[in-house]
DNA sequence: ATATATACTTTGATTGATCAAAATAGTAAA
DNA sequence: TTTACTATTTTGATCAATCAAAGTATATAT
């Protein structure tokens, strides 16, 4: 959803239709309605970009989503691999009033359990790192910022390997041709992962 | 919603249509769909009654609603006059898993902030008192069980008068003809209320 | 530059929710 | 019993969401 239009550029209709799991024709029709209502600007055959108004509600939805995820893990003790889907529903049902009470109760956290920054009430959000594990050279040590993939199984795998936000990761080797990177976290056994997966880990 | 079909008898279509705020024709159509799906039995021109299956999900929804109300007051500190509407939305968005975690977190409360019993996970619920303040004679002292009305302003009034679940209330006088009852709670000033309002307070 | 493939938009149809108005059944009054 | 009233159901129409299939524009390959 929201995650698509982070940057200022246009999102292709194909992405929209795939993300919303509707046919391309339906996506076009939806997007036209949303333009009519002022949420976004639609450039036929190019894509859509959020208006200021649209960006505002998108940020607010991201705030809802991430505060809820934090609550589900911190307060109720759910696993970080299962909270995304739950928050996806709850974010639409929670009122502004309850949301702010929740924020207060949680102590205004800045990051959700996946390491994603939580937008402020005003709608500003901390820019994420542009580095991923994929573009890290052998020998250096980095700190995990966040996990991009919301897939439940991938998150379980990441926790298993202790690939968690805040953790220090040493890059043992990075083999471009073989498309694989080998890592070491704390005193644990080194392990390898493909670039495809490494790209899902944001680091600083 | 659910509150209508507590007893085993039929609910008139007029009630259904009013409660759902749709035209009578729409109510008829909805009810037919729900019968097709097995949620209720529809007796044309008489009304509807829940099937076992329907009663089960209704009880579950009541459990959701009341646990959420409890959470909103106990954990987030919202006022009891504003939680009903909030819970009305959230009850549809919360999953079974999150609900049970919430129940655990709250310590499996038996009553919500209005004094309403919370159905067990299995769907059983404690029978409410059949006494209201309206049918209390002068001189006796009763304990408030619950407030039936969900209206925000009425709830604010009740709290103002300390007419809260668990409180002991002495009936100073009850004047049938004048349709008014006079009450005293703790050491406070006595006050009066009409039978219409007194009927909204369940006591034991 | 031409042809082909891909991404996207349009069109036309279907479905479901809803309403207003007309028809009907059941109830109360005369 | 007949009439009148009220609650409910039916009917016919509208609207929004969605899809499949057909048409069109743009990018890519030859
Ligand atoms: Mn998420
Ligand atoms: Mn997250
Ligand atoms: Mn309630
Ligand atoms: Mn309640």
Asked if strand C contacts A166 at the CB level, meaning under 7 A, the answer is no
Domain annotation covers residue A111? no
Q: Does A72 touch chain B (CB under 8 A)?
A: yes
* Crossing angle between the packed helical segments A52-74 and A96-106, to the nearest 10 degrees: 50
pLDDT-based confidence at A6, cuts 50/70/90? Answer: low
- pLDDT value at residue B43: 97
Q: Per residue in A54-73, pLDDT tens?
A: 999 999 999 999 999 999 99
Nucleotides of C under 7 A from a protein CB: 7-12, 17-22, 25-26
Domain annotation covers residue A65? yes
Q: Per residue in A16-39, pLDDT tens?
A: 999 999 999 999 999 999 999 999
pLDDT-based confidence at B9, cuts 50/70/90? Answer: confident
Counted domains in chain B: 3
Share of chain B above pLDDT 70, in %: 96
- pLDDT value at residue A96: 97
- pLDDT value at residue B6: 56
Domain annotation covers residue A74? yes
Residue that the structure tokens 């009122």 belong to: A95
3-class secondary structure for chain B? CHHHHCCCCCECHHHHHHHHCCCHHHHHHHHHHHHHCCCEEEECCCEEEECHHHHHHHHHHHHHHHHHHHHHHHCCCCCCCCHHHHHHHHHHHCCHHHHHHHHHHHCCCCECCCCCECCCCCCCCCCCCCEEHHHCCCCCEEEEEEECCCCHHHHHHHHHCCCCCCCEEEEEEEECCCCEEEEEECCCCCEEEEHHHHCCEEEC
Bin B95: left if φ > 0, else alpha if -120 < ψ < 50, else beta.
beta
A vs B, Cβ pairs < 8 A, gives 51
pTM of the complete model: 0.92
pLDDT-based confidence at A8, cuts 50/70/90? Answer: low
B84 and B61, same domain (yes or no): yes
First-last CA distance in chain A: 25
Domain annotation covers residue B124? no
pLDDT of B16 strictly over 80: yes
- Output the domain CATH number for residue A167: 2.30.30.90
Taking the mean position of all CA atoms in its chain, how far away is CA A116? 6
How far apart are the C-alpha atoms of A121 and A118, rounded to whole Å? 9
Other Cβ atoms less than 10 A from the Cβ of B168: the count is 12
* Cβ(B181)–Cβ(B175) below 8 Å: yes
Domain annotation covers residue A155? yes
A190 and A154, same domain (yes or no): yes
Mean pLDDT confidence for A93-109: 98
Asked if strand C contacts A44 at the CB level, meaning under 7 A, the answer is yes
* Cβ(A164)–Cβ(A135) below 8 Å: no
* Cβ(A172)–Cβ(A138) below 8 Å: yes
Tokens coding A135: 């573009």
Domain range for B86:
55-106
- pLDDT value at residue A75: 98
B101 and B156, same domain (yes or no): no
Mean pLDDT confidence for B93-110: 98
pLDDT of B8 strictly over 70: no
pLDDT-based confidence at B89, cuts 50/70/90? Answer: very high
A144 and A178, same domain (yes or no): yes
- pLDDT value at residue A9: 87
Domain annotation covers residue A16? yes
Domain annotation covers residue B190? yes
Q: Does B75 touch chain A (CB under 8 A)?
A: yes
* Nearest residue, CB atoms, B76 vs list A82, A89, A102: A102
Tokens coding B29: 């159509």
- pLDDT value at residue A7: 65
How far apart are the C-alpha atoms of B169 and B146, rounded to whole Å? 13
- pLDDT value at residue A3: 62
Taking the mean position of all CA atoms in its chain, how far away is CA A198? 15
CA of B146 to the centre of ligand 3 (A): 12
Tell if the CB–CB gap between B95 and A86 is shorter than 8 Å. Answer: yes
Domain annotation covers residue A77? yes
B43 and B72, same domain (yes or no): no
Q: Per residue in B31-43, pLDDT tens?
A: 999 999 999 999 9
CA of B108 to the centre of ligand 1 (A): 28
Question: Closest nucleotide to residue B23 (Cα to C1')?
Answer: C19
DSSP for A18-36, please give it. Answer: HHHT--HHHHHHHHHHHHH
Q: Per residue in B139-168, pLDDT tens?
A: 999 999 999 999 999 999 999 999 999 999
Minimum distance, in Å, between the CA of residue B118 and any CA atom of chain A: 19
């Amino acid at each position: 959803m929201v995650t698509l239009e982070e940057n200022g550029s246009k999102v292709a209709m194909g992405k929209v239709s795939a993300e919303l799991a509707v046919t391309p024709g339906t996506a076009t029709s939806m997007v036209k309605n949303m333009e009519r209502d002022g949420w976004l600007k639609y450039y036929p055959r190019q894509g859509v970009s959020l208006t200021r108004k649209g960006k505002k509600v998108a940020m607010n939805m991201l705030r809802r989503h991430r505060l809820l995820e934090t609550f589900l893990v911190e307060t109720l003790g759910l696993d970080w691999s299962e909270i995304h889907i739950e928050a996806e529903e709850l974010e639409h049902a929670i009122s502004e009033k309850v949301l702010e009470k929740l924020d207060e109760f949680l102590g205004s956290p800045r990051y959700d359990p996946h390491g994603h920054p939580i937008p402020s009430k005003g709608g500003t959000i901390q820019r994420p790192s542009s580095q991923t594990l994929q573009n890290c050279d052998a020998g250096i040590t980095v700190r995990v910022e966040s996990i991009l993939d919301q897939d439940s199984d991938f998150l379980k795998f990441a926790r298993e390997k202790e690939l968690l936000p805040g953790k220090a990761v040493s890059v043992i080797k990075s083999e471009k041709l073989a498309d694989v990177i080998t890592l070491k976290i704390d005193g644990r056994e080194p392990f390898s992962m493909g670039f495809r997966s490494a790209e899902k880990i944001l680091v600083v």
